[in-house]
Amino acid sequence: MTQNTLTTHVQTALTALETLLEQLSGNDIPLDASAPEQIADRSPEDALQDDLQARFILHAADRGVVVALDPDWVSLFSEAMFGEEMAPDAEGALDLMQEVSSQGFGTVQSTLAEEGLTLPEVQFDAAAPGQPPPALDGAAWLVPFTAQRDGGELDGFALLPDGEETAEPDRPAQQAATETAQSSGASGGGAPSSGDDSESVEVSPAAFSELGDEEIGGDGESGTFELLADVDLEVRVELGRRELPLADVLKLTSGSVVELEKMVGEPLSVYANGRLIAEGEAVVIDEQFGVRITNLASEGSREKAFF
């Protein structure tokens, strides 16, 4: 992958992450990246090892991808996702970084897919500062990046394996097999085998006997649901609904109150098999909630609950 191509993809990824952070925090958090630098070899003695050990590390071992972040990124992510800052050494810091890596990679993966670049599924492992950094070797691209926050700057960098040897995009298996067969035929001095040495099979159209005139039994008015009487249907009573932005959902804690759209005194909705069949009011029956039906949906609507 050339430097220009990688720079373009990195900028697209940063734009996607900026949008994600803005949605979570409600604030504009600009991200910027320096030009990628190619590293010929990443040996265990590389000077980057000391820098890695002082940072939070997100490591996709199966892909050789490493993201190293300044510890203060924890406070940025926690404020964006939970509305309050978390210390880098807090108990939930690693879990937070793991969640951020999952959401961030999913956003980047979807955005780059729209640009025609398909990223494989990866799983990042998080490591706190002071822990031994992952073993690194082979050529790589070093991509430094920064985030602007409250007049300050947070920095980090990514190590992406140099994939020049696998730059050719994957081809569908069927296409590859076809090309291999054609190549074999061209180099072997003859056409590829098509199974001519096997026995020939006679193929003829399928023949069906005449069934006679169409005949439908019943008078069209006596149908019942007796055959379905023992079928179990899930009955659900809905108190109300409310749509919330993802940022508000992530901020919910014990004791949070979510205001529903349904007004006090409005009837509850009763669903069977996902279809509205009735309305009712809440009652208590022997210390259990129940619902008293006050209004039935049309017969046609209720019958649709069987299908």
Alpha carbon distance 296, 302 (integer Å) = 8
The pLDDT tens digits for 197-227 are 556 677 767 666 666 666 655 554 545 556 6
Reading the block at residue 163, the tokens are 């994939």
Alpha carbon distance 74, 50 (integer Å) = 20
What is the value of pTM for the model shown? 0.51
Asked: is 3-163 a CATH 3.40.50.460 domain? The reply is: no
The number of CA neighbours under 13 Å toward the Cβ of 283 is 9
- pLDDT given at position 302: 67
Residues of the chain predicted below pLDDT 70: 1, 41-47, 136-137, 151, 163-200, 204, 206-228, 300-307
Of 53, 50, 72, the C-alpha closest to 129 is 53
- pLDDT given at position 155: 92
Asked: is 229-306 a CATH 1.10.10.10 domain? The reply is: no
Residues of the chain with CATH 2.30.330.10: 229-306
- pLDDT given at position 239: 87
The order of strands in the sheet holding 268-272 is 235-238, 268-272, 275-285, 288-296
**Contact of 169 with 191, CB cutoff 8 Å:** no
Residues of the chain with CATH 3.40.1550.10: 3-163
